Amino acid sequence: MFRGLVLGLGFLAATAAPLAAFDIENMTDAEREAFGAEVREFLLSNPDVFLEVVQILEQRRAEEAVAAEVDMVRANAEALFDDGYSWVGGNPDGDVTIVEFLDYRCGFCKRAFPHVERLISTDGNIKIIVKEYPILGDASIMGSRYAIATRNVEGDKAYKDVHDQMMALRGELTEETLVRISDDLGLDHEEIVVEMENPEIDAIIQANYALANALEIQGTPTFVMGERMVRGFVDLDQMRAIVADIRENQG
């Protein structure tokens, strides 16, 4: 159909007597007006052609946006995949790496959580990296500080446990909530609270903010799957399809 537009415009140029040479830059005002009228009439008579042109332009813009995101991921690969402080789960030697930027008060993050868990548990060959990215207020920052402090004091397993508890939480995230989580998991809450004041935790969160800014991330959840950026909620089937496509292209 796009070929139809080209042929159609070519036909208009050939049949318009003053435009025999089809030299647009050297057209007179009258010739330009006549040509414009012919093009308009052609498009009105063939609306499918115009729709196809729009679709082609949209596809090109989408491809350009994807390519730009791949470039951003590659430029920030070390900070994304090997920063030395983010929690790493799943299979550390997996053939596909997923990085998730999340906020513990984000409804869509909570909605995505069981899908991410199911993907990791049923695949067995995916590495998952969590980026604490608290953007929804002071309570979100408190939750991220608590999670990072827990990891510093109690280790990776305790981090995952509190992470899971906060992701599954349906009420408000408060200091009392964190006390209850620590008690439920048998953690030393007082030591964790002290560790939450560690300036290194501020540095980690600020580094994640800077990385998100470099990747033009404005909301949560945002996933980096392989070299692809997936912005917003995706369900299990969509995740599996993306992972399969990544593996196909790797192979």
Q: Is the pTM of this model over 0.75?
A: yes
Cis peptide before 221 (omega within 30 of 0): yes
C-alpha distances in Å from residue 161, one per residue of 6, 133, 181: 61, 18, 9
Alpha-carbon distance of 219 to 210, in angstroms, equals 14
Alpha-carbon distance of 133 to 107, in angstroms, equals 14
Residue entry with tokens 């332009």: 57
pLDDT score at 217: 96
Question: If you ran DSSP here, which 8-state letter would residue 228 be given?
Answer: E
- The number of angstroms, rounded, from the C-alpha of 14 to the middle of its chain's C-alpha atoms is 48
pLDDT score at 17: 45
Structure tokens, 30: 């009258």
Helices (H) and strands (E) in the chain, counts: 11, 5
pLDDT score at 12: 45
**What architecture is domain 77-250?**
3-Layer(aba) Sandwich (3.40)
pLDDT score at 26: 79
**Would you say how long the chain is, in residues?**
251
pLDDT score at 168: 97
Q: What is the pLDDT along the chain (251 residues), one digit of tens a residue?
A: 444 444 445 444 444 444 445 566 778 888 888 888 887 787 778 777 667 767 776 776 766 666 789 999 999 999 999 999 999 999 999 999 999 999 999 999 999 999 999 999 999 999 999 999 999 999 999 999 999 999 999 999 999 999 999 999 999 999 999 999 999 999 999 999 999 999 999 999 999 999 999 999 999 999 999 999 999 999 999 999 999 999 999 86
**Residue-range domain boundaries for the chain:** 2-75, 77-250
